[in-house]
Amino acid sequence: MPVPQDPTISILFTGLLVFCFDKRRKCCQIGVLSKDDHELRMRVVKKGKGQEDGLEQTLTINHVLIRQSSELLLDVEGELSSEQRTAEPFIAGNRDEPPTDPQDFRRVLDLEGEYFYNRPLKMRSGVLRPILFVAKGLFYTAALTSDLYRTIPVAANGAARTPWAGRTLGQIAEYVGASIYLTHPNQALVLRAGRNGSELLRLNREEGTTYEITVENGDTPQAPAGSDFGYYYDAFELNRGEPKILIEPCGLPAMRGREAPCLPVELGFGFGFEGD
């Protein structure tokens, strides 16, 4: 079954973001990896009839300000419907078999999965900040990388092991999508500074109107060249002697030597960001 179409609100996520479906709280946690050479950008586009069609709002937050916030909550407010689901990933087919659907959420790199560490990772406090809690929505792979990728284990001294020590990943998620449906006239999607906190954004349900939101934690103009994937290890504690597992494009000769873009990742065990 494909991802349902025509949501009221479509959200695209990309950049240095860590996803975790918290089994206990029944929500999706999205941790923003805080780096001085990155900034969090949010763009909202309203699509509808008349003069408001294409109306756009843009918000850019540098990480000095981001570190002052710990939690954000994005939820549907108003009269709730039994048809609305909690936050969950789109899984096509059998969970025990590799994904074949390009929109399957399992295309997102799972740092706790078999291609990386195959266990829950311990978080360092304060590195993922803020954490966005999304209570409702269907999450899926919105776009795959054009390149094929493989893992590359790198020792603590910076020495990379032979490429043959890595594993082939294929195409991986570059953008994560989330579809949210407002089914009652008085419903709205509301972003708050924590539970019961101040309101930062409100998108009301309006007949014939949809919204597109883009959330990116990407490079600033001052960011150095090179892959940012290694930044994720600022947030996790590895066991003594364990290598950092990085990624690089592979396949055709033209792909080799290119740097990986800022890609989102997942923590698949679903224990939440306990370290934070």
CA angle 23, 19, 93 (to 5 degrees): 70
CA distances from 41 to 25, 197, 199, 213, 229 (A): 26, 21, 18, 10, 19
Q: Quick one: pLDDT at residue 254? A: 46
Q: Quick one: pLDDT at residue 77? A: 92
Q: Quick one: pLDDT at residue 63? A: 55
One digit per residue, the tens of pLDDT, for the chain of length 276 reads: 678 889 999 999 999 999 999 888 889 999 999 887 888 888 999 988 765 666 777 776 655 555 566 788 999 999 877 666 789 999 998 888 889 999 999 999 999 999 999 999 999 988 898 899 999 999 999 999 999 999 999 887 766 665 556 889 999 999 999 999 998 889 999 988 877 788 888 999 998 899 999 999 988 777 777 778 999 999 999 998 899 999 989 865 544 455 667 899 999 987 777 544
Q: Quick one: pLDDT at residue 36? A: 79
Phi-psi region of 196 (alpha: psi -120 to 50; beta: other; left: phi over 0): left
Amino acid at 214: T
Q: Quick one: pLDDT at residue 82? A: 67
132 token code pair = 């966005």
| HEC-encoded secondary structure of 135-164 | CECEEEEEEECCCEEEEEEECCCCCECCHH
Residue 64: closest CA among 132, 15, 129, 133:
129
- Sign for the CA dihedral angle at 84, 88, 94, 99 comes to positive
Q: Quick one: pLDDT at residue 188? A: 95
- Sign for the CA dihedral angle at 132, 42, 260, 34 comes to negative
Other residues' Cβ atoms within 10 Å of the Cβ of residue 246: 18
Q: Is the pTM of this model over 0.95?
A: no
Residue 202: closest CA among 214, 212, 189:
189
Buried b (16+ CB within 10 A) or exposed e, 213-223: bbbbbbbeeee
Q: Quick one: pLDDT at residue 213? A: 95
Amino acid at 155: A
**Contacts of 267 by beta carbon, 8 Å cutoff, 6+ apart:** 18, 19, 20, 110, 111, 112, 120, 121, 273
